[in-house]
Amino acid sequence: MKITEFIKKELQGWNNYEIGGLAAVFTIITINSFILKDSPAAVINAFCGILYTIIAGKGKISCYFFGLLGSSCYIWLSFKNALWGNMLLYLCYYIPMQVTGIFKWKKHLKNDTKEIIKIKLANNERLKIFFFAITGCILTILILYYFNDKSPIIDGITTFLSIIGMYLTVKRAIEQWIIWGLVNGLSLLMWLDLVIHGTKAYSTVVMWGVYLILAIYFYILWKKELEI
């Protein structure tokens, strides 16, 4: 497939509300970055992260290219703010899984729209993931307490749930949006607390807020498509 044809396919399916909303959010982040002198890494991460989430919600494989760039910036931000759980999550898991996602999604694309074929998990799979999530979150919190993480509880929960969320994203399962909703809401609270205490990462706060809205939005869209 030619590059121009690939780009054209990737841009299909956007409605006016989505385009307008994206433009509004990017304008807010840009203005905010100048007024509050935000970190460049936070701004780039916010732009790439929001694009990644929207394009992933639309089932387009190009989301992973924005995901890789945004993840690199988020690793730096987490390192600067001693959020070791989030830093290791993105460095050791997100980046490898996003590369994996590119190849996995290529095998499950619709011929006409080049969108992924979406799925839902069986009840026994959901139950297994639930117990795995509870156990994993508790262990992660204990480990982060040991390493003096600034936000061990929220960082621990978001770190481990993000592992599950990324797995479900690559798997193309609708349940990912439930996990991402929890992760995004808790991450929003965590970064709000950091900003209140002096961290210049205002765009990251806006990003997590937009993520939360998008998780709800795409769960509804995927649910309609899967008719569940």
The count of structural domains within the chain is: 1
Task: Identify whether the C-beta of residue 214 lies closer than 8 Å to the C-beta of residue 53.
Answer: yes
pLDDT confidence of residue 104 = 93
pLDDT, tens digit, for every residue of 157-188? 988 999 999 999 999 999 999 999 999 999 89
CA distances from 40 to 21, 53, 70, 77 (A): 22, 20, 12, 10
What's the pLDDT score for residue 175?
97
Mean pLDDT of 17-39: 85
**DSSP track, 64-94:** HHHHHHHHHHHHHHHHHTT-HHHHHHIIIII
The answer, as to whether pTM is greater than 0.85, is: no
Using the predicted structure, report yes or no on whether residue 1 has a pLDDT greater than 60: no
- Measured distance CA(194)–CA(189) in Å, rounded: 9
Which position has the higher pLDDT, 166 or 81?
166
- The pLDDT mean for the chain works out to 88
Condensed to tens digits (0 to 9), the pLDDT of residues 88-127 reads: 888 999 899 999 999 999 999 988 878 999 999 999 999 9
Amino acid 127 reads: L
Domain holding 214, by residue range, is: 3-226
Cα-Cα end-to-end distance for the chain: 34
Is-contact 71 47, C-beta < 8 A?
no
Three-state SS at 99: helix
**What is the structure's pLDDT at 8?**
64
Q: Phi first, then psi: what are they for 119, rounded to 5°?
A: -135, 165
